[in-house]
Structure 1
Amino acid sequence: MGAVLDMSDDNRSFVRNSFLTFSRQVTNIVIGILLLVVLARILGPAGQGKYSLITLLPTVLLTFLTLGINTSTIYYISKGEVKLNTVYNNNIIIGTLLSIVSIGLGAVVIFFFSEKFFNETPHVLLYLCLLALPFMFLREYFQTVFQGLQDFKVFNTAMVVNQLGILAFVAVFVLIFRLGLEGAILAFIAGNLINVVYMVYQLKKRHKLRFDIRGFSWEYFRKSVKYGLKAHISNFASFLNYRIVIFLIGFFMVDSAVGIYVTAMNIGERLAIFAASVSNVLYPKIAAIETEEERNHLTSLVSRNILAITFVIALAGTLIAKDLIVTLFGEQYENSANLLRIILPGVALLSVEKILSNDIAGRGKPELNMYLSIFNVLFNLLLNVVLIPKYGLNGAALSATITYFVSFVVKIFLYKKVTNEPYHRFLLVKKSDLRLYKNVIRKLKLRY
């Protein structure tokens, strides 16, 4: 066991990639919060709610129609089983075709269901936002190429470019040209376009990749869909679990209520950034590791420390929720503070669940995540339908936290069953972890 605990080159690489991802994600968070603040203050709760509903539609279509090819990209590149240029060609062709299908599907949804879920939202802006879909598909498929290569410098920079691009175009269209909600939607489209251009440039520069339509591989397509669909159903169900509440609030309440809830939800999710940073690095790492002992050690180390760190962050967030929300967004968003307090415990548990989910998927068993995700969607939907009409936004926040808690309990049981790791090993911080913290702090002091 001692050999596993040594800081090998691979472990140093994992820590370095996690820290790099975290530092870039912090930058991404700062830009993202700044974007939220600008939109919230200029558009107000009602406008913010409309923006959230409009941009959610293409995001749902993207998540529904990726077919898990993004997940397969990470898995097969990590294992080195497919030529990189083959993945590049396939992802461009499939992403383009699926985006066209998603635009058509989105137009049908708007035409037939807009009065139910987007009653107060300008329909022309819903159609306009669908134009972002080709860039969103390519963004998703290109980002996972870098994640599979474990090139987290470009992977995380691309995420920053996306947020920074949207913010820059918001400044142009909303602040300078005063286009309001329409300008915010145009900025959303342009930000995704800039991100795709950046990643294509990096793929050509770093890996000399060239697109050739004749390079499409049906064999790889079948493999990627066969593996990816299991993870895809899980990911889509998880996404619905986090986002279906927005549609339900829009259905039962008004757009301003959506704006209030989305503000709390976005802040809560951003407080869990450290877990997301490590989780993004963990999945390709686990897929590439060959020994069960090292896999179990690595995930247990990450899981128990993420649990401790996120609960400290959640506690701090609960204490400063009101001051944080009012300072950033203004008095009109004061009700978001109480929602944030309700959501934060669930977000902390969700952070650990993501770590365990990526470990399970990296071991080639994404179907376990899929079954739980489907249950979570149905359970969360039932809770929201019961609690939102009765308790309003507090009911929506409570539904989320209850669902996250139940999902966490089931996921730790599944992880133990798959790995035979004792619960305390991946949930409770050890003395060796505290020594690790001291060593990291000491090294940082020496460096700076």
Structure 2
Amino acid sequence: MAIDGQQFVKNSMLTFFRQGINIVFGFVLLIVLARLLGPTGQGSYALITLLPTLLLTFLTLGMNTSSIYFISKGEVALQTVYINNLIIGLFLSLLSIGVGIFFVIFFSDLFFTATPHVLLFLCLGALPFLFLREFLQTIFQGLQDFKVFNTAIVLNQGATVIFCSVFLWMCHLGLLGAILAFMIGTILPVGYMLVLLNKKHHLRFSWRGFSKDYFRKAIAYGMKTHISNFASFLNYRLVLFLIGFFMFDAAVGIYVAAMNIGERLAIFASSVSNVLYPKIASIASEEERNRLTSLVSRTILAGTVLVACIGMLLANELIPALFGSRYEESATLLVLLFPGIALLSVEKILSNDLAGRGKPELNMYVSLWNVVFNLGLNTVLIPRFGLKGAALAATITYSFSFMVKVYVYRTVTREPFHRFLLLQKQDFKRYRTFIESRLKA
């Protein structure tokens, strides 16, 4: 299952290229939502779609990351993973719908005061497809078939943009149209991946193919990663609920505009991380693991810091030009978010390395502490400083988490700090050689 360094770079670049297409779709979607729904409508959209996304992240039980790990190591038959993922995904989606209905009925007045409840219930209907999309994508990630993996992501975002434009601009359906587009965007990639798994790998569904042994192994490994991933998700998204609680939906829309642009900074780090996790799991040599992650980590750090500095200089012109004058405050928020997001990009690389080594519990401990730390900061800073307080809390949390993860990685690998944080002289030769080979190709 191992692949050579050249294939790793190729997969990373393929992922980056298709993620780049995804960024374009993402920007178009942001612009459409911002201009046609306004800050209040965009804030309501963010909160409505956050509910099923939160339930998905909370209830996957780590089955998605277990799929990547065990497929990469070749320890479990692909057919077994496929059947288990389908059955467990459908069961968990039904459970999550029940939890979501309960939450809307009893807690919507706290977090969704200006949001139509019918749209909250409607959006819960996307959950079966969200679970299947997540569980099928990770099969392709474990196979290191990043062509299909990234095409599914682009199909998801592209379909959402197209249908959102049609429903909002041509049909004038408003917030309802945006929610329908979100749901269609989750359905199409599921069908695409099911067809390919059938054609390329001849996988067939059978209720009798469910493996209790694999389920137990997957839960034992995955729950450690799951808790870490869910805690990380709370760090990124809990702030939206808190802004909705302390402020109003329009404030959520203004913050979301800055947050979504800032997160695009991490696109290359995410692209490499998706490739790095199964790659590290498939490498037996500790020396080779350390060499690969150190090269990736220091390169990502240098690149994201450079892009963050450029973004901070352009923010005041970029935000109003894209979204309109109603989003001017988003520019200030973006400047505050950029430093933390740059460091977060590197932390993702180190986290995936640790998970690929079979030590996901280390990420879990750090993530759990970050949730408590971030929650405390937000409850203090949002009432006092508003949206600027939320952005500042995010950057402080990401920076603290980065420092802790750097120490943890250093402890596990014994790599000197400068090896995985600072560019080396030979790196520039590597970059030049790679660029020249690509140009010749």
CA deviation vs aligned residue, 1:110-130 (integer Å, no higher than 9, x gap): 000000000011111001000
Q: Are residues 1:90 and 2:84 paired?
A: yes
- The one-character-per-residue Cα deviations of 1:147-168 (angstroms, maximum 9, x if unpaired) are 0000000000100000011112
Q: Distance in 2 between matches of 1:323 and 1:115?
A: 37
Equivalent in the alignment of 1:375: 369
Aligned to 1:352: 346
User: Contact 1:165–1:195 (CA<8 Å) still a contact in 2?
Assistant: no
| 1:288, distance to aligned residue in structure 2 (A) | 0.3
Q: Distance in 1 between matches of 2:5 and 2:309?
A: 30
What secondary structure, in the 3-state scheme, does the structure 1 residue paired with 2:12 have? helix
1:399 is matched with 393
Give the corresponding residue for 2:122. Answer: 128
Q: Which amino acid aligns with 2:67?
A: T
Matched, 1:329 2:323: yes
Inter-partner Cα distance in structure 2 for 1:146 and 1:296: 25
How much does 1:9 deviate?
6.3
Tell me, in whole angstroms, the C-alpha distance in 1 between the residues paired with 2:418 and 2:304. Answer: 17
Do the aligned partners of residues 9 and 224 (structure 1) sit closer, same or farther apart at CA in structure 2, a change above 3 Å counting? closer
Distance in 2 between residues matched to 1:258 and 1:9, nearest whole Å: 43
Aligned with 2:436 (options 407, 424, 442): 442
Contact 1:248/1:384 (<8 A) preserved: yes
- Assess if the C-alpha contact under 8 Å between 2:60 and 2:131 holds in 1: yes
Partner of 2:287: 293
Alpha-carbon shift at residue 352 of structure 1 (Å): 0.3
1:52 aligned residue: 46
Offset, 1:322: 1.5
Q: Which residue identity lines up with residue 244 of structure 1 in the other structure? A: L
What does residue range 125-204 of structure 1 map to in structure 2 within 5 Å?
A: 125-204=119-198
List alignment gaps of at least 5 residues for structure 1: 1-7
Match of 1:14 in 2: 8
Give the equivalent residue in structure 1 for 2:263. 269
Secondary structure of the 2:252 match is: helix
Match 1:313 to one of 303, 307, 316: 307
Q: How many residues align?
A: 440
Return the offset for 1:328: 1.0
Residue in 2 that maps onto 1:118: 112
Q: Aligned partners of 1:205, 1:167: CA distance in 2, in Å?
A: 28
Cα drift, residue 442 of structure 1: 2.4
Superposed CA deviations along residues 131-151 of structure 1, whole A, max 9, x for unmatched, are 000000000000000000000
SS at match of 1:141: helix
In structure 2, give the amino acid aligned to 1:380.
N
* In structure 1, distance between residues paired with 2:68 and 2:437: 32
3-state DSSP class of the match of 1:95? helix
CA distance in 2, matches of 1:323, 1:210: 53
Following superposition, the deviation at residue 269 of structure 1 comes to 0.3
1:423 corresponding residue in structure 2: 417
Deviation at 1:170, TM superposition (A): 1.0
Aligned equivalent of 2:35, options 20, 37, 41: 41
Shift of residue 264 of structure 1? 0.3
Q: Is the 8 A contact 1:146 1:154 kept in 2?
A: yes
Q: Match for 1:271: what amino acid?
A: L
Work out the CA distance in 1 between the residues paired with 2:310 and 2:158: 27
Q: Percent sequence identity over matched residues?
A: 66
TM-score by length of 1: 0.97
Q: Is the 8 A contact 2:49 2:179 kept in 1?
A: yes
Matching residue's letter, 1:21: T
Shift of 1:177: 1.5
SS in 2 for 1:364: coil
Equivalent residues of 2:3, 2:279 under 8 A apart: no
Contact 1:356–1:412 (CA under 8 A) maintained in structure 2: yes
Q: 1:257 matched to which residue of 2?
A: 251
Q: 1:9 to 1:247 in 2, by over 3 A?
A: closer
1:271–1:314 Cα contact (<8 Å) kept? yes
Aligned to 1:210: 204
Deviations 1:300-359 (A, max 9, x none): 000001000000010011011111111111111111001000000000000000000000
**Can you list the C-alpha shifts for 1:401-423, whole angstroms capped at 9, x where unaligned?**
00001000000000000000000
1:244 aligned residue: 238
Runs of 4+ aligned residues of structure 1 deviating over 6 Å after TM superposition are none
| Corresponding residue to 1:26 among 17, 20, 30 | 20
Name whichever of 198-207 and 335-344 sits farther off: 198-207
User: What is the CA–CA distance in structure 2 between the aligned matches of 1:210 and 1:445, rounded to whole Å?
Assistant: 42
SS of residue in 2 equivalent to 1:334: helix
Do residues 71 (structure 1) and 100 (structure 2) align?
no
TM-superposed CA distance for 1:244, in Å, is: 0.3
Contact 2:43-2:253 within 8 A present in 1 as well? yes
- Determine if the alignment matches structure 1 residue 284 to structure 2 residue 284: no
Whole-angstrom CA distance in 1 between matches of 2:189 and 2:98: 24
1:271 partner SS = helix
Contact 1:54 1:126 in 2 (8 A): yes
Tell me which of 78, 81, 91 is aligned to 2:75: 81
Contact 2:266 2:304 in 1 (8 A): yes
TM-score by length of 2: 0.99
Shift of 1:427: 0.3
The residue aligned with 1:5 is none
Structure 1 residue 441: deviation in Å?
A: 2.8
In structure 2, distance between residues paired with 1:263 and 1:213: 44
- 1:245, CA displacement in angstroms? 0.2
RMSD: 1.0
